[in-house]
Amino acid sequence: MRKGQRAAQARRELDRKFAAASLEPIVARPRSGWIRAVRGALGMSQEALAARLGVTRGAVNKLEHAETAGGVTLAKLAEVAAALDCTLVYALVPRTTLDATVRAQARRVAAASVGYAGRTMALEAQGVDDERQSEAEERFADDLIARGDLWRAPAGDAPR
């Protein structure tokens, strides 16, 4: 199996997993952060969590603030999760399907490459119509995907 085929298979498998999961309810972190929200729901004080972690109440307070500011490590979150009898779930959740992300990137790269050739040909009075230009871009995008060679685009070309 070639690199492009392996990547396509991996994309399909991950897209199926993401489609089967209902992640919307947990994607948005509570305003106070997960640590404080779970601790509060358990009726556990900062002092009690501090004792379970072997740290001071001030360290737990600092940890809760660090979580909301995005400054806590995964290792520390895993430690806190265990102290709260929770499982830490870490995931990168695509905004669309992975296949759609790959296709969009391939189209961007193809449009830049084929577009350059089209502009050069037009300067030499050998331009092609828009339909043929689009067909050439699609063929090139398909080729890029098959080769797994679509992420060599210049920096700053990433989706926002």
Tell which of 59, 83, 107 closes a domain: 83
Q: Is residue 138 part of a domain?
A: yes
What's the pLDDT score for residue 156?
46
Helix (DSSP H) and strand (DSSP E) numbers for the chain: 8, 0
Burial (CB < 10 A; 0-12, 13-18, 19+), residue 55, is: middle
Per the structure, the count of domains in the chain is: 2
Tokens encoding 105: 């990137």
Q: Is residue 42 part of a domain?
A: yes
What's the pLDDT score for residue 131?
74
Q: Is residue 63 part of a domain?
A: yes
What's the pLDDT score for residue 36?
97
- List the CATH number of the domain containing 76: 1.10.260
What's the pLDDT score for residue 155?
40
Per-block mean pLDDT, blocks of 10 residues, the chain (160 long)? 82 90 80 95 97 98 96 97 95 89 91 65 52 83 86 54
Full domain range(s) for residue 132: 1-19+95-160
Q: What angle do CA 99, 103, 107 make, to 5 degrees?
A: 170
